[in-house]
Amino acid sequence: MNIANVCDRFAVLAGSDSETMLQWSPLAEDACAFVQARCIVSAPDSEQTRRLEMLAAAYMLRLYSLCGGSQLSQFVAGDVRLTSSADTAQRAAQLWQELAADNTDLVKSDGFIFGRVM
C-alpha cells in the first residue's frame, strides 16, 4: 500500500487540505498497518491494492473522527457561520463497516472492529 494514495483518498473523504494531512499522517501509517494485518491476500494486484488503500483511508477517517478532527458543529463570528454535521463519527464508522463487508475477499471479516462483530 502507498501511504500517499491513502492520504489522498482520506483528504477527499474528510474534505481536508494538504496542510491538515501533515498533522494526521501518523494515522495513515496506523490505518495501513491495520488493514495490512487483516489482509488475506499475500500479493495483491493493482486493483486489489487500490481497494485496500480505500479501506485504509476509510479506517483513517474513522480514527480521525474519533480523535475529534471534525467535531465542529457550529461556530458563529459576526456574519460568518460555519457548521458541520454532528454525525461525522457515525458516518465514518458506517463507511468503514460497508467497505469492510464489501471487501471480505481481501481482509478478514471475523472478530471485533470498533466494538462490533464483523
Tell me the pLDDT tens digit for each residue of 17-38. 766 677 778 888 999 999 999 8
User: In which domain, by residue range, is 30 found?
Assistant: 3-117
Find all residues with CB under 8 Å of 96, minimum gap 6, and list them.
55, 58, 59, 61, 62, 113, 114
Predicted confidence at residue 92, as pLDDT, reads 74
Q: Report d(CA 37, CA 59) in Å as an integer.
A: 13
Q: Which residues of the chain have pLDDT under 50?
A: 72, 75, 111-118
Find all residues with CB under 8 Å of 116, minimum gap 6, and list them.
97
Number of domains, the chain: 1
